[in-house]
Structure 1
Amino acid sequence: MAHAEPLARLNVLCGVDEAWCAAMKDAVRSRLSIDATVKRRSTGEILDQVRSEKADPQTDVWWGGTGDAQLQAASEGLLQAYQPPSTAVMLPWADNFFDLSGGRSAGIYAGALGFAYNTELLKQKGLKAPACWKDLLDGTYADAIELADPNSSGTAYTALATLVQLFGEDEAFKFLSRLGANISSYPQSGSAPVKDAAHGDTLIGISFIHDAVTLRQAGYPLEIVAPCEGTGYEIGAVSIVKGAKNLDAARAFVSFALSAEGQATGAAAGQNQVPSNAGASLPPGAPDISMIRMVDYDFATFGSADERRRLLRRFDNEIRGIP
């Protein structure tokens, strides 16, 4: 009786929703015969871990989460160049991202930033619905808004960079200082604010719109807002860590993650990001980002390690009061 070939091993840090992390783990096991250890972390936490493991990498693949942090890792020599076959069918924004990374990180999805509010809580409190970033400064929303901590959350770092690009840096920090009076907490995870809004633990959660769509589809009383002034967006990405110990499996994982079949695992797991593969089907609930007023997001600048450190230091000093 023939023995089955042992499964290839792989260590993956996952920056998307837990449901998609689990679906991808199952998919690569069945389709690629890869036994992947998949750990869910926020984007900033993954960047910190990959940096800390530089001398002896324990991670093979960084999959998902905001791509500007992966651009920073690429610039620091933490990621390995790889030319997957699927880049030939990538949408233009993903092609641009791949080129910007020096071929070290590939875009797998896009998603616009916004916020969502709990319609039942809003009605109970008798408050006016917010439509713009500046509406969030209204004193009637005191202790009723959540924004994640941009040190750990790629979503919140995207919000910080978005506000800087919308208003200019000094005005953006004035805005964040005033917003701070209405912030009840700065959780670590970027999806936590909108999950808390869905459950009625806060009124308004600042998040990526696709995360709010997923919760609304699940029946939560959320109204989703693309702010009137305009907003930023993320390109979620996948990368191979330099020095990966399971390189062949890592390459196979990345190729699958960029394929139409691999990207369909997102919709199957209830996710609503816009896939980067031109042959992938758009999830029915995915927001039409062509209808949202978007900033011309400067990934080169805000994906720079020096710029990230500088902005986070200013955020900690001026907004959080952390020296």
Structure 2
Amino acid sequence: MKKKTLISALALSAALSTGSAFAAELNVVCSNEQDWCDLMAGNFEDKTGISVAMVRKSTGETLAQVRAEAGNPKIDVWWGGTGDPHLIAAAEGLTQPSGADTSELLGWAQNLAEISGGRTIGIHLGVLGVAYNADILKEKGIKPPACWKDLTDPQYKGEIQVANPNSSGTAYTELATIVQIFGEDDAFRLLKEIGENVNSYTKSGSAPSKAAARGETGISIGFEHDMVKLARAGFPLKIVSPCEGTGYEVGGVSIITGAKNFDEAKQWVEFVLSAEAQSAGPEVGVFNIPSNSNATIPPEAPAVESIKLIDYDFATYGATDTRERLLSRWDKEVKPGN
């Protein structure tokens, strides 16, 4: 693969804020892990000859940017991150149909396209889980958790790290999952009790598991494919699928309404939906489940057939009013300092 000519995040951020013209032909915000962002941008450039200017941002940050730039977008396509914010952007008319062929995609990926009127399409599936640092818990004589409710145990005081759902799609998926499992009022009581054991709410959804891997916290909540990557790297991380059941994300790709480089953006969508592109994930430790039915599923990917998955309601929890109401309640009842 030729050397990538990606614009730096700093330079791109400055250009976005000033409205400067880009030398690149396609402007992408990526809400996946940085290594995966870089690999896909490089592979796309190699295949198409189209230059890519890319910056990584969380889903919450990207949704805020897309809203702020409505009518005069500085980016063309949003790739990755949980599907709920993509659905919100679609419902608000901030994204547009790509017209891409979805016939090779698995049902859950096509479902995201159907719900959104083709404005966002599923690119991967990731299961929500809990990870713990086996060395830390053994050293402290703490029993590992097996269920969501276990995380309220006082033995985990100061041992749990999770992201803030206002900025992190991962954490919003956790919030919506617990609401769907326990009912809203009981869920917020549970989240408040878990919060008593949380040492930090991070900006990024993958940060807690990285902290657990490094021994900076005992327990994390996040997506299992991120945890698998860390465990394979040799960190003492063990993965738990909560006994009550768990939710999942369907990552999305969306073209921004008013994109200045629509044709190039459509080529990006078609590329990232292809079996060829999706099968490259394990090269950089991406172990989620690809949406293309012909893509290779990494053997390290979570075995969804053995996990108790809920029937995650994307239409409801990907709606603007639901998300805003749940986040407002989280800020009032769970956020530290309340």
Q: AA paired with 2:27?
A: N
**Residue 8 of structure 1 contacts residue 249 of structure 1 at CA under 8 Å; is this kept in 2?**
no
Query: How do 1:49-128 and structure 2 match up within 5 A?
Result: 49-85=65-101, 87-128=102-143
Counterpart secondary structure, 1:70: helix
Query: How do 1:304-315 and structure 2 match up within 5 A?
Result: 304-315=319-330
Tell me the residue number matched to 1:180: 195
Measured in 2, the distance between the counterparts of 1:72 and 1:265 equals 29
Counterpart secondary structure, 1:184: strand
Q: Give per-residue Cα distances to partners, 1:127-174, cap 9 Å, x unaligned.
A: 111111111111011011011000000000000000000000000000
Tell me the residue number matched to 2:7: none
**Residue 279 of structure 2 contacts residue 296 of structure 2 at CA under 8 Å; is this kept in 1?**
yes
**Residue 16 of structure 1 contacts residue 64 of structure 1 at CA under 8 Å; is this kept in 2?**
yes
Measured in 1, the distance between the counterparts of 2:98 and 2:28 equals 16
Counterpart secondary structure, 2:51: strand
Tell me the residue number matched to 1:294: 309
**Residue 161 of structure 2 contacts residue 220 of structure 2 at CA under 8 Å; is this kept in 1?**
yes
TM-score norm. by structure 1 comes to 0.96
Measured in 2, the distance between the counterparts of 1:20 and 1:236 equals 13
Q: AA paired with 1:179?
A: I
CA shift at 1:8, angstroms? Answer: 6.1
Q: AA paired with 2:290?
A: P
The answer to whether the aligner puts 1:227 opposite 2:232 as a matched pair is no
Q: Give the one of 12, 21, 35 matched to 2:37.
A: 21
Q: How many residue pairs are counted as aligned between the two chains?
A: 316
**Residue 316 of structure 1 contacts residue 322 of structure 1 at CA under 8 Å; is this kept in 2?**
no
Hey, which bits of structure 1, 4+ residues long, moved more than 3 A? none
Tell me the residue number matched to 1:161: 176
Measured in 2, the distance between the counterparts of 1:322 and 1:10 equals 42
**Residue 8 of structure 1 contacts residue 33 of structure 1 at CA under 8 Å; is this kept in 2?**
no
Tell me the residue number matched to 2:9: none
Identity of aligned residues (%): 53
Q: AA paired with 1:52?
A: A
CA shift at 1:284, angstroms? Answer: 2.1
Unpaired segments ≥5 residues, structure 1? 1-6
Q: Give the one of 12, 15, 33 matched to 2:49.
A: 33
CA shift at 1:283, angstroms? Answer: 1.2
**Residue 20 of structure 1 contacts residue 265 of structure 1 at CA under 8 Å; is this kept in 2?**
no
Q: AA paired with 2:326?
A: L
Counterpart secondary structure, 1:262: helix
Counterpart secondary structure, 2:80: strand
Query: How do 1:5-20 and structure 2 match up within 5 A?
Result: 9-20=25-36
Moved more, 193-202 or 264-273: 264-273
Q: AA paired with 1:73?
A: A
Measured in 2, the distance between the counterparts of 1:19 and 1:132 equals 31
Query: How do 1:157-306 and structure 2 match up within 5 A?
Result: 157-306=172-321
